[in-house]
Structure 1
Amino acid sequence: MTQETSLRERLVDAGVELVMTSGTASLGLREIARQAGVSHGAPRRYFPTHQALLSAIARRGFADLQARFAAATAGTTSPRGRLQALGRAYLGYALEHRGMFELMFRHELLTSEQEEPGRPRLRESTLPLFAHMAGLIATHRAEQAATDRPGAPEDSVPPASVTAAALWSNLHGIAQLWAWGSLQLVLGSAPPAGGPAGGTPDGDQLDRLVAAALDAHLGRGGA
């Protein structure tokens, strides 16, 4: 690793540490430089814009999430079972690493068309994840059809990509509403007065919420 690459990685490492411990509000260029132990002008030598550095930090989050997905689905062969494992891993990551999760899905980082040296295009991380989910849904439907399980008329079933988008939105909403404390309120498990609004649900709660989302979008069924 060259000195230039090493310093570039130090800046990204510093940003990851900051967003994990202090949230997205801590990700100013000066604060990242201070955390990395370099001059406040150093980030500009390796990242042409602030967004380029934020994209590199968020890319680390997607790499971590992809690794969690791989671990969660290892040994699970059915498409519905894999979707259940993916959903649980997604919620777990979102609730454990709220700052990074918020950064990863910032609109201007995901959709920018700018081509900048050293700036990862986050769509190259998000679109394959979405395509994988849509593929599992399509395979699940094909398996259901092959076993002649009753379901909705074919012409009333939305494309797998639309169902994947709705399921993803459902999971993302669960994560956000739990982080705000809203789901705990309606489910009768609000945190104690003065406690944090969010917190991480236990394993059974995660499983029930993901299973309910799958039932809503795929119909009731086993793993």
Structure 2
Amino acid sequence: MAEHEQGMGLRSRLVDVGVELVTTEGAGALSLREIARRAGVSHGAPRRYFPTHVALLSAIARRGFEDLAVRVMEAAGDRRADPRGRLMALGRLYIDFALTNRGMFELMFRHDLLESNHLGLRETSLPLFATFVELVDRARPASGAEPQVVAGALWANLHGIAQLWGWGSLQLAVGADDVDPLLRAALDAHLGPEAR
């Protein structure tokens, strides 16, 4: 039993080191060798717990999704509150997470990791999406489209805003230094103009 607990401790430490590395140096720095070095183990040790590099990266990305989910649940606030206001708050949170956790955000949405679905990685994004669907449904999109479709389009829009804002492209294109007008425009585009 002690060996199993020790193994779980090393597994967790490898993921912790990976999270720290992606946070400080970006997704490109996440080699098995570097993670092992920083964890103070041989370069072959991670393979005992993660048979492939993708498996270890998926465990690290899962931490990112878990962190984002906790933030979303905290920001979701009072379920009786205005759904459009809550969507605006969640949009800000999503973009802020993307901008302050750039390496993790990039890792979380890597196609190869999501495609491999190690540790059920694809499913870790579903609680976030379910929150968007619920709020879109309560906000009643003007198009009459299914809430899942509208929420998917809104999520894609937010993801694009986050990426382009992080690159500096949107600020240059729209001459803005505040993301809120873009968020309001995205909500208007997907839900219809806000009732005054």
TM-score, normalised by the number of residues in structure 1: 0.80
Instruction: List per-residue Cα deviations over 1:29-77 (Å, max 9, x = no partner).
Output: 0011011111100000011111110010001101110111122222362
Distance 2:130 2:158 in 1: 16
Shift of 1:111: 2.3
Instruction: List per-residue Cα deviations over 1:75-110 (Å, max 9, x = no partner).
Output: 362221221111111000000111000000011211
| Structure 2 residue 165 is matched with structure 1 residue 178 | yes
Distance 1:41 1:112 in 2: 22
Secondary structure at 2:119 match in 1: coil
**1:145-184 to 2 correspondence within 5 Å?**
151=142, 157-184=144-171
- 1:93 alignment counterpart: 97
- 2:21 alignment counterpart: 18
The one of 107, 110, 115 aligned to 2:111? 107
5+ residue gaps, structure 1, are 114-118, 145-150, 190-200
Which has the larger displacement, 75-84 or 157-166?
Answer: 75-84
RMSD: 1.9
**Letter paired with 1:173:** G
1:69 and 1:85 in contact (8 A); partners too: no
Secondary structure at 1:220 match in 2: coil
2:72 and 2:128 in contact (8 A); partners too: no
Distance 1:111 1:137 in 2: 27
Q: Which runs of 4+ in 1 moved over 2 A?
A: 206-209
The one of 153, 171, 190 aligned to 1:217? 190
Distance 1:175 1:60 in 2: 20
Secondary structure at 1:39 match in 2: coil
- Number of positions where the alignment pairs a residue of Structure 1 with one of Structure 2: 192
Distance 1:214 1:178 in 2: 17
Which has the larger displacement, 40-49 or 159-168?
Answer: 159-168
- Report the identity percentage: 61
| Structure 2 residue 194 is matched with structure 1 residue 207 | no
5+ residue gaps, structure 2, are none
**Letter paired with 1:3:** Q
- 2:62 alignment counterpart: 59
- 2:50 alignment counterpart: 47
Distance 2:132 2:175 in 1: 31
Shift of 1:219: 0.9
- 1:196 alignment counterpart: none
Which has the larger displacement, 68-77 or 44-53?
Answer: 68-77
Distance 2:168 2:123 in 1: 32
TM-score, normalised by the number of residues in structure 2: 0.91
